[in-house]
């Protein structure tokens, strides 16, 4: 929700930085038992600036900047304390391995852990809500009620939501007179409308004068997209695809992403290669089957490629038989799947250029054929290179596994479309950090 929620996140982010710096000044004052001189403060601030960047990343991974959920105070306290303990560990390692700054703030780090935790907690629970939160604005939603019911519910139940939907009109009811009367009678200052609906589009020219009275208009589909991180499939047509999935607009991004894929993949190959013989031996001892699955998957531009995985299941896992085979996860395979280590051989696919680190997950040819028949524009996801991890893997809860599940895949596809529209290095970095969090919390099975 770019226009409504994102400024709140920016304020929260800037406040964290300010309180990180103030906590450093206060920690120095407590250590010295007097206010620190400007010289002493800036000597410490220079290396801490590098740490601030790392700490913000930890906050991000910990979910402290989630856009749709602001943590309850009890959950915030626990999450923040864990994040700051991790941050202090990073700081200790930083000063141990980078002694060039000439300071070894052992006592200071302990003081800083306590001070920064209390100050940032105070900022987030007491000061930040007072800065950004007034009375929620009254909003009216104009659109098909079934389609946007989830959006209305999310706005009305979100903790400290800036808006509350108090009136809903179906498109056929949204005449200029009816809209004006509802706005005046209910004190509405925000109108969320499905401007793609032809009836709403015809009514809007008669509402321009409402802008002068301070009423703000938001596109319901765009708002839905920002709140849920997915695209409304009812909005997808050939024109949407042409506007939002342009390769030319991403030429530089694609080139930089490929370089980063190769560099990171080379680094990631080091540790897994040392473990390959051990994993192979365990898999062989389990049932004497093959160590690797060599699966045919559909890649960029619909081209098939062979994807490698450590075998974690018994049974067939490729070709048309995937639609009818029954799989049993092996004991060691369960560990591989939870830790996502079964996918490490795919780093070789990244080096070959079959996969990227980030992108929609590739599917079996049989499933692609099945889904393409039932889900309009499904093959749009093949315009970009598939990835080891992706936006849908993070936010779609009902992952289809090894059988055709059209409805679950339709929902998953809506998340893939969000990635296609918004793909960028920043979004890729977001997915990487959240994937790390998911792996640490064993949410990647």
> What pLDDT was estimated at residue 441?
65
Question: In whole angstroms, what is the distance from residue 388 CA to residue 91 CA?
Answer: 31
pLDDT, tens only, 227-271: 788 888 888 888 888 888 876 667 788 889 999 999 989 888 876
Question: pLDDT higher for 110 or 440?
Answer: 110
Element of type H or E holding 390: none
- State what percent of residues in the chain have pLDDT above 70: 84
DSSP 360: P
Q: Is the pLDDT of residue 226 over 50?
A: yes
Q: Which CATH architecture has domain 137-228?
A: 3-Layer(aba) Sandwich (3.40)
* Average confidence (pLDDT) over 37-63: 87
Q: For 285-307, what is each residue's pLDDT tens digit?
A: 877 778 888 889 999 999 999 99
Residue 133: the pLDDT is: 62
Q: Does residue 420 have a pLDDT over 80?
A: yes
Strands 328-329 and 313-314: antiparallel
Predicted pLDDT at 88: 83
Q: Cβ contacts of residue 221 below 8 Å, gap of 6+? A: 194, 195, 196, 231, 232, 235
**CA–CA dist 104, 187 (Å, integer):** 59
Helix (H) or strand (E) holding 143: none
Looking at every residue in the chain, the average pLDDT score rounds to: 81
How many C-beta atoms surround the C-beta of residue 373 within 10 A? 9
The pLDDT of residue 74 is above 60: no
Is pLDDT at 63 greater than 90 in this prediction?
Answer: no
Backbone angles phi, psi at 120, to 5 degrees: -70, -35
Tell me what pLDDT residue 356 has.
95
Q: Which helix (H) or strand (E) holds 169?
A: strand 163-169
Question: Among 45-49, 105-109, 261-265, where is mean pLDDT lowest?
Answer: 105-109
> Residue 71 has what pLDDT?
40
pLDDT band for 406, please (50, 70, 90 cuts). confident
Helix (H, G, I), strand (E, B) or coil at 195: coil
Token pair, residue 15, equals: 């406040």
Q: What is the pLDDT of residues 84-106, one digit of tens each?
A: 888 888 888 887 777 656 666 77
Query: Which region among 4-13, 64-73, 115-124, 308-317 has the lowest average model confidence (pLDDT)?
Result: 64-73
Pinpoint the residues of the chain covered by CATH 3.40.50.10700: 137-228
* Portion of the chain with pLDDT greater than 90, in percent: 22
352 pLDDT higher than 80: yes
């Amino acid at each position: 929700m770019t226009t409504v929620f994102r400024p709140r996140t920016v304020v929260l982010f800037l406040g964290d930085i300010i309180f990180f710096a103030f906590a450093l000044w206060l920690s120095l004052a407590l250590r010295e038992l007097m206010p620190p001189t400007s010289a002493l403060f800036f000597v410490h601030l220079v290396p801490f600036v590098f740490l601030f960047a790392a700490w913000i990343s930890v906050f991000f991974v910990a979910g402290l900047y989630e856009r749709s959920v602001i943590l309850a105070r009890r959950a915030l306290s626990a999450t923040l304390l864990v994040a700051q303990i991790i941050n202090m560990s990073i700081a200790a390692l930083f000063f141990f391995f980078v002694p060039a700054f000439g300071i070894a703030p052992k006592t200071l780090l302990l003081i800083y852990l306590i001070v920064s935790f209390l100050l940032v907690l105070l900022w987030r629970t007491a000061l930040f809500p007072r800065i950004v939160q007034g009375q929620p604005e009254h909003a009216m939603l104009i659109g098909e009620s079934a389609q946007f019911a989830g959006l209305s519910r999310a706005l009305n139940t979100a903790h400290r939501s800036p808006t509350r939907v108090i009136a809903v009109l179906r498109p056929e009811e949204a005449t200029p007179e009816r809209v004006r009367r509802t706005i005046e009678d209910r004190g509405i200052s925000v109108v969320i409308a499905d401007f793609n609906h032809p009836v709403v589009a015809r009514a809007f020219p008669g509402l321009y004068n409402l802008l002068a009275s301070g009423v703000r208009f938001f596109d319901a589909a765009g708002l839905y997209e920002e709140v849920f991180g997915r695209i409304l499939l009812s909005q997808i047509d050939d024109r949407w695809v042409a506007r939002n999935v342009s390769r030319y607009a991403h030429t530089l991004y694609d080139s930089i992403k490929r370089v980063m894929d190769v560099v990171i993949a080379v680094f990631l190959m080091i540790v897994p290669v040392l473990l390959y013989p051990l994993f192979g031996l365990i898999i062989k001892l389990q049932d004497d089957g093959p160590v690797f699955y060599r699966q045919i998957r559909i890649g960029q531009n619909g081209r098939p490629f062979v994807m490698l995985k450590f075998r974690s299941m018994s049974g067939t896992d490729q070709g048309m038989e995937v639609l009818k085979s029954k799989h049993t996860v092996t004991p060691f395979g369960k560990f591989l799947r939870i830790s996502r280590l079964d996918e490490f051989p795919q780093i070789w696919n990244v080096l070959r250029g079959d996969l990227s680190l980030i992108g929609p997950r590739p599917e079996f040819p049989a499933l692609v054929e099945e889904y393409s028949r039932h889900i309009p524009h499904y093959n749009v996801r093949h315009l970009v290179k598939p990835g080891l991890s992706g936006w849908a893997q993070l936010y779609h809860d009902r992952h289809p596994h090894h059988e055709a599940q059209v409805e679950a895949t339709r929902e998953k596809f809506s998340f893939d479309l969000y990635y296609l529209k918004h793909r960028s290095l920043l979004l890729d970095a977001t997915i990487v950090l959240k994937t790390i969090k998911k792996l640490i919390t064993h949410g990647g099975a």
